[in-house]
Structure 1
Amino acid sequence: MSLTLLKTAGSEGLRLRTEQVAVPALTSQVRPALVLPELQARALLDAAAHEDVSNGGCFCAGPAGIQLWSGPFNGPNGGKGTAIHLGSVDWTYDTPAKHWALIYRAMVTQEGIEHGETTLSILTRVLGLTGLSIEGDRVQLPTPPVRDPFRRNAV
């Protein structure tokens, strides 16, 4: 793995914190991608926030997905301390609609593999925050009617 850093216009430049870069040892593309409608996506984010690493949990949610850690962050100033990044579930948020999530990948770090994690176990644990299964119950969505692009609203 190689990284190229470009100096920014500021006098400080850019420093990469190598301990913050997750290197995937195992990834699985989720095909077809799992679609979580707004209520399920928000519930998953809320559950992950409730079980956040800063609150004694082992999850860390953000706009790109949810990370799974070995335990809560116990380092100085809220740092990771002895917690180990095990893997993550990656998504695009606001896709295919606002506040929906499209899960497209599960990833396990080398440390996650050493702790017995797989891409399936990472995905199962993250979805399990809200009782969702990987069997597809969350993708059985009613198909909305096709919108007629030539129809105009009455003025």
Structure 2
Amino acid sequence: MPRFLTILALGLLLAAGHAGNALAASAGDKANAKVEEERKQKDKAQRKKDKEFNRDISYRHVVGPEVLPLGPFTVSLYVGGQLTEHRVKVALQAVDVTKKTELENAKTQLYGIVYPLCLRLFEKGRPSASDLLLFKADVEKQVSTRFKDSLKGVFIESVL
């Protein structure tokens, strides 16, 4: 008798058209849930990779609180009858943040010191490694003469 009731209930459900939909819906819901879960896992993994990648980039480009960038300085000179154009970016590292603000307030004076040295750097064309070292030493010497105990180092960010 219970078998008969089960067959009758199934027959009624099939006649109503809900059993096929119910069985298909439950299988489809399971498949959709599985696909959705996989997508969430992939998104989570991608966000983790992005976060690590962005952290690496930000660490490479961090400039300390005591570094003062100067430039870019554009130098246009005739060398051997040919017009040459160069760009150089310089960064000065102060001893501490207060000295940096002192240097930052006197930025026009620093441009007056560094720009003529940039012109001299490119007088003979593209500078060599020794020319760059001499440039850095000259900048450090002249800035240290004007601003006592303020400068920790001179860096050349780029030469184009």
Whether TM-score is above 0.5 comes out as: no
Going by fraction, where is helix more abundant, 1 or 2? 2
Q: TM-score, normalised by structure 1?
A: 0.27
Q: TM-score, normalised by structure 2?
A: 0.26
Look at both structures and tell me which one has the larger radius of gyration over its CA atoms: 2
